[in-house]
Structure 1
Amino acid sequence: MLYKLLIRLNRPQKRQLMLALDVLLAPLSLALACLLLNERTFFATATYEQVLMLMASCAAFSLGMTAALGLHRVRLNSYEMSGVGLTSVASVVVAFATSLVSAGFGWPISVRVWVAFSIILIIASVASRAAIRQILLALYRQGEGRIRVLIYGAGHTGQQLAAALRTDRTVEPVGFVDDNPTLQSLSINGLRVYSPLKIKELFQRYNVDRVILAMPSTSRPRQQQIARRLREMGCETKLLPSFAEMMQRSHGESRRIDHTAILNRSNLEDELPRVYDGYTDRVVMVTGAGGSIGSELCRQLLECKPSKLILLDHSEFALYAMMKELAALRSTVQCVPLLMSVTDRHALERVMRQHNVQIVLHAAAYKHVPMVENNALAGLQNNVLGTKAAAEAARTTGVERFILVSTDKAVRPSNVMGASKRLAELVVQDLATRCRTTRYSMVRFGNVLGSSGSIIPLFEEQIAMGGPVTVTHPDVTRYFMTIPEASRLVLLAGSFARGGDVFVLDMGKPVRIAQVARQMIEAAGYSVRDDNNSNGDIEIRYIGLRKGEKLHEELLIGQDMLTTPHPKILRAREGHLSEIEVAAALAELRNAIEVGDTESARNAVFKWAAPKENRPAILAEKAIS
């Protein structure tokens, strides 16, 4: 009943009650002071009206001071030292003002009574507010379900948290947990400090709902490790940031590594010229427009002012997100989103004719090596047959230029993804030799920093979780380029293409992945935990090369290189399959996919994607197996 009455009271009503309390306490405190000090001189001679006037004056002054200082507006939860100070000032002023009234009327009341009165009034005001707060908290706690929390960390931050939660009617701290043995078994702020070994027991004893990690001075990886261990025990865990972190972005964001710092070379984005003429006032289609490379291509193409930009992707969300981003740029270029698969040749032809497409940038592909390895049929259908469908549609509809986005994993491939991209290159090269209306070219990338599925987002996530950071092998290396570099290279390739060209970017020396992991850990403000530093924050764990993964990647199949108008862009001169061989390869692959024969599909793509000099050995190996 009392709880229901309390929650019905609005803020002004609660303030009026506190004001009435202060008005009532003043005359009662004066009467108590006179009684305690046996002040009989005034009361023995005073009339009833004089006593009433004295008490009324005291109450009036109390009312005025409470209103003037806003004591009735101070929330009980925040009534601490500042509130006590205001109460003391108000009490002294009330006592002094009432004594002046007494002296003015000539009432014989000694000075010691007014001193005692002010002290009693201070004590009564503070004590009454404290008592009311505790009573209200008890009533609220009975009427509402409370979250019972265990605070991990009995240091300064943990103690502040416990003090704050004590005045919260929805949360109840039940104790501290701390790794420091000297604190265990002590009582802090009325709460006992326990060992972490007793967490399970505490959960059962106190029916704990949540553990709050209040140890901001501990490194974030260590906090994440503790949190992970608690979650494995079935404990819901929250991390309390430090006050400094609350005033800025999150720890991981504020110290995120600059991706270009791991290239071991200068950023080539500014060295690669912008190509406006080749795309201005043209109708350009980008397949895989929602992906990392496709989306950057769309951004850079807007600067070229094409007459129309066709965005094609089979992911509804990716396409929606890209269109939303382009709309925010407020470009005058007409952007057309198309939700479809690149494997649908008839739909592609219809769209290319409808929009009179002149340039196709084919970035649609499944590129995650382990994922394609485990889903070989889907990967081959999308990467090989999808490229075949898009390239054929471009030829049939009279597209001027077709640029295929490829990968360094296509060079002497050891996995299905790389083999699928190499066979896609061979399909495009074959069309280039037989088509006079469409110029076909290919761009071969290294690893693109920050793209979906790349190591950078993975490492950032692992560092944020406290590690370990997983690397396949201590000596594994990769070529790296940034997303803007990759996209600029694609656009340049279209202007340099003569037909059947394979363009690569001079990316300098390959980078050790283990070194990238170390750089990212240190750039985030942590240290690497290894044999030389057992107290480090984050471990680099080597998990072994995955199926189909190489120790080192290559960019070229042969050694023949031709120059281009730009010194950092090279043209590879590589052999290709004949029209009959390409037809045989595609027929073999298509048959395997149609019947769902993964092994036959793998054999086919590796057989035809291998360099000619290696093909007899592969065929013999397959025959033996």
Structure 2
Amino acid sequence: MKKINYRKLILALADVFIIVVSGIVLDFAMSLIFPELSEASRGLLYTIIVNLALCMLIMYGAGAYKRLWRYFNEKDYLVCGLAMFAGFALGYLIMSILQIQQSVLFVALYAILATGGVLLFRFIFKRTFLNLIEVGRADNCERTLIVGAGNAGRMILTEIQNASYDENSPARNLIAVGFVDDDETKLNRSINGVPVLGFCREISKICNDKKITNIIVAVPSCEEEEKRKILDYCSETTCKIKIIPYLSELLFDDKHTELISQAKEIKIADLLGRKPIEFDKKEIKELVTGKICMVTGGGGSIGSELVRQIAKYSPKQVIIVDIYENNAYDIQQELVLEYGNKLNLVTLISSIRDYDKMELIFKTYRPQLVFHAAAHKHVPLMETVPEEAVKNNIFGTFNVATLAEKYKADKFVMISTDKAVNPTNVMGATKRACEMIIQHKAQHSTHTEFVTTRFGNVLGSNGSVIPLFRRQIESGSPVTVTHPDIIRYFMTIPEAVSLVLEAGAMAHGGEIFVLDMGAPVKITTLAENLIRMYGKIPYKDVPIVFTGLRPGEKLFEELLMDEEGLKSTANEKIFIGNQININSAELLKKLDELKVVANSNDSEKTVELLADLVPTFNHKTN
């Protein structure tokens, strides 16, 4: 037996009451005001019964009882009003056909009075009930500020206001306190009873005054720079922040009917200050498809993403080379699970320092594309053991590059860093030496095209600050930042890897490809927003401690050396640094001397010879 919906039944009974009472009251009033029309009362019973039956029938057919009054919007009120007037018009027609006496004025006023009563009842009851619910929920709900009073913001408000009746709604524990919007015409107006409190630049003050605990940024069509400014304003508060994705990322289907359910926690990547870089997938596909691809350091954060993206373009074979078996195993199993036998995958645990082993790999597999991501990257650790950085970064790179040339690989792409520009630390100096080696190879190679890609810090990579910050927050420890003013250029892992692949496609030999990484980001800001992502308040729930610059660390990084200059490419976000002529004889001689000293594990002498090899190396020990 179907369960009776008592709420809809009560709504229908209320409509019956209003229609009946409206007719009786109107008839009484007209008998006093227009005695000459009192004969209308003789047909009053028939008039009320016919109009009541037709109005209820038409409203039911129009869906007035399918959607509860608490969810009513402008369209629902319009449909309900038209259904009432249609019922009275049809009733008048039927009464005329049956020749039942009726007054046109009475019927018209009856229709207006009854329709107004039905609509007013819905509106007053809805607002009263909503207000009572809001008062009851206020102490337990998050006071929410909506950024953007446009269509998306209005939809968010409707979802919040309707969520009181849906226990499964993601907005059930939210109360909309107000909007902010930079459109002056919306200022001081109200939307469904919720005021527009001010401009975006006033977010911090409004949140403080109104005791806001939650912010929803509902501007899915805004430009990236505008969104960054908004997020900067939001970051000045202690509120939790969620963002409605771009319109192109929103889903509207049976499973995604609400905007709030698609709101995302603020991501560190949202503060890059630029749009994500888009790359030419057609060129990358032409580069990779049908080729034997080797990735050194293939288990690392950059190397593993390289392998993932390469696998999408149907390579002939993918060879993962890594010294750390756990990471290599993880990416191997991930790809096996996703591609099965469709991907020809080889995973080899080997060190790039071992020339003989690397030669065996080249001789056996004959890679056509070599992506060199293997390197020691941690700045402070390499300051402690500079000889290890030299052995791995410089001579590991020399080994792989020499073998790529010997076995006629088509392209060799090395991953460098902005720390190679005017380096102040050992790691940066070794990467600059690697760039010199690649340029040396490019000057003499007759088959292999050697190229370098250079970018800044990669969000979420093993060498970035984000994993450290996460561990500190999750363990309840203070977040450590070296200096309150330290800034860095950032990009995402997919961007970094796409740059590597795009560079490989564009390379003709000897170039250093540099990504336009937009505005630099303060590390302190990253720390503060990461803390907020965990629902905590910076400096209150999680302290931020400034520890001082580490040995070899700069306040800011550069992306190009003074002598390189820039050349534009087909991609407006990628530039090429001019190739610097390398004196090969001098380079090889200094490399030989450095290798002997590094193998003897003489740290001090190693740094001395490294500085001789890289003239721009200005070692800072702080």
Q: Return 5+ residue gaps in structure 2 as ranges.
A: 1-212, 214-262
CA positional deviation for 1:539: 1.6
**1:360-388 deviation line (CA, Å, top 9, x unaligned):** 00000010111111121111100000000
Q: Tell me the equivalent position of 2:146.
A: none
Q: Is the 8 A contact 1:255 1:524 kept in 2?
A: no
The match for 2:576 among 556, 571, 576 is 571
| Cα distance in 1, alignment partners of residues 279 and 448 from structure 2 | 30
Query: What CA distance in whole angstroms lies between the structure 2 residues aligned with 1:596 and 1:523?
Result: 44
Take 2:334 and 2:288, find their aligned partners in 1: how far apart are those partners? Answer: 21
Aligned equivalents of 1:270, 1:445: Cα separation in 2: 15
Could you tell me how far 1:321 is from its partner in structure 2?
Answer: 1.2
Query: Do structure 1's residue 496 and structure 2's residue 506 form an aligned pair?
Result: yes
Are residue 279 (structure 1) and residue 283 (structure 2) matched?
no
Deviation at 1:451, TM superposition (A): 0.6
Residue deviations 1:448-478 (CA, integer Å, cap 9, x gap)? 0001131111111222233411110111110
Q: Does 1:424 align with 2:434?
A: yes
Whether 1:311 and 2:320 are equivalent positions in the alignment is yes
The match for 2:451 is 441
Q: Which amino acid aligns with 1:584?
A: K
Report 1:398-547 matches (<5 A). 398-529=408-539, 536-547=540-551
1:592 and 2:613 correspond? no
Query: Any residues of structure 2 matched to 1:106-121 within 5 Å, and which?
Result: none
Specify the code of the residue in structure 2 equivalent to 1:537. D
TM-score (normalised: structure 1): 0.55
2-structure distance, mates of 1:507, 1:274: 21
- What is the Cα deviation at residue 272 of structure 1? 7.1
Structure 1 SS opposite 2:375: coil
Alignment length, in residue pairs? 358
Native 8 Å contact 2:279 2:571 kept in 1: no
Preserved contact between residue 353 and residue 391 of structure 2 (Cα < 8 Å): yes
1:601 to 1:290, Cα distance in 2 relative to 1, 3 A:
same
Question: Separation in 1 of the partners of 2:388 and 2:533?
Answer: 38
Question: What does residue 344 of structure 1 align with?
Answer: 354
**Whose radius of gyration is greater, 1 or 2?**
1
Q: Shift in Å at residue 274 of structure 1?
A: 6.3
Given the alignment of the two structures, is residue 381 of structure 1 paired with residue 391 of structure 2, yes or no?
yes
Give the structure 2 partner of residue 395 of structure 1.
405
Aligned to 1:538, what secondary structure does the other structure show? coil
- CA shift for structure 1 position 255: 8.7
Give the letter aligned to residue 379 of structure 2.
V
Deviations 1:139-165 (A, max 9, x none): xxxxxxxxxxxxxxxxxxxxxxxxxxx
CA distance in 1, matches of 2:428, 2:279: 30
Call closer, same or farther: CA 1:367–1:526 in 2, change over 3 Å: same
Aligned pairs for 1:192-203 within 5 A: none
Matched, 1:580 2:589: no
SS of alignment partner, residue 451 of structure 2? strand
Q: Name the aligned partner's letter for residue 453 of structure 2.
A: V
> 1:270: Cα distance to partner?
6.6
What is the CA-CA distance between 1:417 and the residue it aligns to? 0.4
What SS does structure 1 have at the residue aligned with 2:395?
Answer: helix
Q: Given residue 443 of structure 1, which amino acid in structure 2 is its aligned partner?
A: T
Contact 1:467 1:538 in 2 (8 A): yes
Residue identity over aligned pairs, in percent, reads 40
Q: 1:467 to 1:255 in 2, by over 3 A?
A: farther
Deviates more, 1:504-513 or 1:273-282: 273-282
Please tell me whether residue 297 in structure 1 is matched to residue 310 in structure 2: no
CA distance in structure 2 between the partners assigned to 1:346 and 1:546 by the alignment: 37
Query: Could you give the per-residue CA deviations for residues 19-77 of structure 1, whole angstroms, max 9, x where no partner exists?
Result: xxxxxxxxxxxxxxxxxxxxxxxxxxxxxxxxxxxxxxxxxxxxxxxxxxxxxxxxxxx
Deviation of the 1:349 alpha carbon: 2.2
* Contact 1:256–1:524 under 8 Å retained in 2: no
Correspondence list, 1:105-144, <5 A = none
Q: What is the letter of the counterpart of residue 286 of structure 1?
A: V
Residue 573 of structure 1 aligns with an amino acid whose one-letter code is N
**In the alignment, which of 537, 548, 552 is matched to residue 548 of structure 1?**
552
1:481 partner SS:
strand
Of residues 270, 276, 279, the one that matches 1:261 is 270
**Cα shift at 1:398:** 0.8
Aligned partner of 2:301: which letter? S
In structure 2, which of residues 317, 333, 339 is the aligned counterpart of residue 330 of structure 1? 339
SS at match of 1:348: helix
Match of 1:609 among 595, 605, 614: 614
Q: CA separation in 1, counterparts of 2:415 and 2:548?
A: 29
Instruction: Compute the displacement of 1:347 (Å).
Output: 2.1
Aligned equivalents of 1:388, 1:303: Cα separation in 2 = 29
SS in 1 for 2:285: coil
Residue 330 of structure 2 corresponds to residue 321 of structure 1:
yes
In structure 1, distance between residues paired with 2:395 and 2:373: 14
C-alpha change, 1:576 and 1:370, in structure 2 (3 Å) is farther
The alignment yields a C-alpha RMSD, in angstroms, of 2.2
1:555-584: CA deviation from partner (whole Å, max 9, x where unpaired): 000251011121111101152431012112
The one-letter code of the counterpart of 2:583 is S
Match in the other structure for 1:557: 561
**Structure 1: where are the runs of 5+ without partners?**
1-218, 220-253, 530-535
Distance 2:457 2:283 in 1: 22
Q: Cα deviation per residue 1:250-290 (whole Å; 9 max; x = unaligned)?
A: xxxx9965231231222225787661011100101000000
- Call closer, same or farther: CA 1:270–1:497 in 2, change over 3 Å: closer
Change beyond 3 A, Cα 1:255–1:377: farther
Structure 1 pair 441–360 and aligned structure 2 pair: CA distance change class (3 A): same
Distance 2:270 2:279 in 1: 16
Residue 367 of structure 1 corresponds to 377
Per-residue Cα deviation, 1:315-365 (whole angstroms, up to 9, x for no partner) = 111111111111111251200111111112222222212112111000000
Conservation of the 8 A alpha-carbon contact between 1:470 and 1:541: yes
Give the superposition deviation at 1:523: 2.7
CA contact (8 A) 1:472 1:545 kept: yes
The separation in 2 between residues aligned to 1:443 and 1:467, in whole angstroms, is 36
The answer as to whether partners of 2:298 and 2:320 remain within 8 angstroms in 1 is yes
1:74-93 superposed matches below 5 A: none
Give the counterpart letter for 2:350 in structure 1: M
Conserved 8 A contact 1:561-1:573: yes
Shift of 1:510: 1.0
Contact kept, 8 Å, 2:412 with 2:449, in 1: the verdict is yes
Distance 2:544 2:280 in 1: 35
Aligned to 2:554, the other structure's residue is in SS state coil
Letter in 1 for 2:270: A
User: What is the DSSP-based 3-state SS (H/G/I as helix, E as strand, rest coil) of the residue aligned with 2:284?
Assistant: coil
Q: Which residue of 2 aligns with 1:122?
A: none
Structure-1 separation of matches of 2:280 and 2:473: 33
The letter for the 2-side match of 1:294 is G
Partners in 2 of 1:595 and 1:468 — Cα distance? 40
